[in-house]
Amino acid sequence: MMEKLQLKIRMNEEIAPKIYKIIFLATEIVKKAKAGQFINLYCNKGELLLPRPISICEVNKKTGEITLVYAVVGKGTEIISTMKSGDTIEAIGPLGNGFSVDEEVKQHLIIAGGIGVPPMVELVKFLKGNITVYLGFRCNPILVETIKQYGATVYVATEDGSVGIKGNVMDLINQHNPVAEMIYSCGPKPMLKAVAEWSEKLKIPAQLSLEERMACGIGACLVCTCKTKKEQDWENKRVCKDGPVFWRDEVIWHD
């Protein structure tokens, strides 16, 4: 098992309502991290001993800094949101399996929604060729300009119609009918299921990063399982250990 690291916080600020960006000095994690992996952050506050898994948004190998973007959804993330520059927090990482990048692929399509957007920032930095990104939000888009800075073409949908088209990200996809050699996606399960069905219909390979509630984050507790294909049968795989990124054809979406 990886040992816990003491990470010094460089910045922790709200970038949208209840959405925070936190930057750590994390040299050892940065050396190994890849797009699609995550980090366990520990609050160490009584009943909040279980870690909070948060996807890696960006790594900076020159400075040794790592950036996470997280939503405040419970007591654990609320405590993390109150931490200041100069504070330290315990962490383990990088964890999980990230996205596979094939240098032969030149036409990339990224589809992400909500808090599934942050891990796509680091991914965009490593893709070569044409990168088209479709993002969906309820409101208050995040990281759009950051992704554009790395050379991607970005389209946005919001459910309230405040930015981009009014609707969800699949409304945007159906409107544009994009083409690609590879799809990468992260977001809520209904969105991933829709992406899986759409990509299968068009016979475009797809890598999907699943969002599941995790307890340990290291594969020991078996809480975050998903149903996957196994020859003529099926098996449960651990999202935290075997994923969070799976190939579309691995995942069984129906019960």
Coil vs helix vs strand at 53:
strand
Domains 99-208 and 212-255 share a fold: no
Mean model confidence pLDDT for the chain: 87
Q: Rounded CA gap, 202 and 109, in Å?
A: 13
- Under CATH, what is the fold of the domain 212-255? Dihydroorotate dehydrogenase B (pyrk subunit); domain 3 (2.10.240)
Q: What is the pLDDT of residue 134?
A: 98
* pLDDT tens per residue across span 214-251: 444 454 544 555 556 666 656 566 565 565 888 888 76
Q: What φ, ψ does residue 15 adopt, rounded to 5°?
A: -110, -10
CB-based contacts of 180, cutoff 8 Å, min separation 6: 107, 108, 109, 132, 204
In this predicted structure, the answer to whether residue 152 has a pLDDT above a threshold of 70 is: yes
- Under CATH, what is the fold of the domain 99-208? Rossmann fold (3.40.50)
CB-based contacts of 201, cutoff 8 Å, min separation 6: none
Question: What is the residue extent of each domain of the chain?
Answer: 5-95, 99-208, 212-255
Q: Rounded CA gap, 34 and 154, in Å?
A: 22
Q: How far is CA 48 from CA 39, 75, 180, in A?
A: 16, 8, 43
* pLDDT tens per residue across span 28-59: 999 999 999 999 898 766 545 567 889 999 99
| pTM for this predicted structure | 0.89
Q: Which two tokens stand for residue 72?
A: 């405040």
Query: Please, what CATH class does the domain formed by 5-95 belong to?
Result: mainly beta
